[in-house]
Amino acid sequence: MGALNGIKVLDFTTLLPGPYATMTLADLGAEVLKVSSKGKYDLVTHWPPVIDGTDTTGAAAWLGRNKKTIHLNMKKPAAVEAVKKLVMEYDIVVEQFRPGVMSKLGIGYDELKAINPKIIYCAITGYGQTGPMALRAGHDINYMSRSGIISAAGRKETGPALFNFQIADVAAGSKDAIIGILAAIRHRDQTGEGQFVDVSMEDGVIPFNSMDGASFFAGADEPKRAAGLLNGGGIYDFYETKDGHFMGVGSLEPKFFADLCKGTGHPDWADGKILKTDPETAKKTFIDDFKSKTRDEWVEIFSKLDACVEPVFTLDEAAKDEHHAVRGMFPDVPLPQAQGKTVKQLGCPIKLSASPVEYKHAGYPEGWDTDEILSGLGYSADEIADMSEG
């Protein structure tokens, strides 16, 4: 039984932040029902390719994992009434529209709270429910740009650098939504009171300035690109190898630096004095050192040392890594549309000893459960067809 068994989530989210958050809740045992509009294009769930033998993309199969899904056209009064019926038996609503959109549809927090006072309503937006930016559109790159982080990221010569990972969307938006929802559940358990959870991706990125931010507000200089201990200004960096691969070097503490020096053939630097007397020479030497051997040769050398030096893996290499296999981070998840077939997915990182996550099924086409769910509310086939069309 999952840790969140018995918790029911009504999911109105699209793209990545909300769907990742609700997928995690579903992995942990919550019953998640995704509500979507038929025919509406979703950049993320329509992201190619389509899995062989199905009409579902890899992204949709991942983000829809363990969820049920129905179609409702929220511009139709009957669909609004259906949501109000559903919310009587649900614990959590998660939405990702701009502020005020759900209220205009008649299913905002105030409307749903009047029906179910215990409802926990989580709204994920770019800039939050208040402030002059509240109604402004944005994507991950915009939230990162305004947060202060990107001003000190990348290289001096080339400027800011992009990731193939949506930091503000997932690390801030998704994770903060999960934390906020779980905190609200705890509050409700103690008081019987639901509440509104306001999650801003921009807000969530601000604390990621971490040590640089804390130091700056305590009087340090503003962080600069490739000038600090953790952004390329020191030995903590990526180093190219002879065969064009890279090694990630995190040898910050004295004992790790000593082993880095042993591995690269500089035992006389093991006391760390070089980092104070001539750090530029140390960095340049390490750059040359790593280019003298292949990545596999360096992996072999540092497998015998405790230096915080690891290879930069491709995704395929990461998926085949023994450690990740033991940790269950790339599970094979059943595909409901293809009997006996599975799809490899990115796993849930949360490990619970008494109530481990369960991968019941991958996501399937949106609207799959429409008839079952709505007929259970007493609607006829004609009524269901009408409220789900358009």
Catalytic residue IDs: 169
Q: d(Cα 105, Cα 107) in Å, to the nearest integer?
A: 6
In eight-state DSSP terms, residue 35 is E
CA gap 299, 68 in Å, rounded: 44
**Residue 239 β-bridge partners:** 247
Residue 254, classed as helix, strand or coil, is helix
Indicate if the alpha-carbon torsion angle 121, 122, 126, 132 is positive or negative: positive
Distances (CA, A) of 36 to 41, 110, 225, 297: 10, 21, 42, 51
Return the structure tokens found at 177. Answer: 């939504």
Residue-level length of the chain: 390
Interatomic CA distance for residues 269 and 107, integer angstroms: 65
3-state SS, 274-308, equals: HHHHCHHHHHHHHHHHHCCCCHHHHHHHHCCCCCC
Relative to beta strand 309-311, strand 246-249 is antiparallel
CA distance 390 to 383: 13
User: Which residues partner with 199 through β-bridges?
Assistant: 124
- Max distance between CA atoms of the chain, in angstroms, equals 82
Q: Which two tokens stand for residue 253?
A: 């503490």
Angstrom distance (rounded) from CA 65 to CA 24: 9
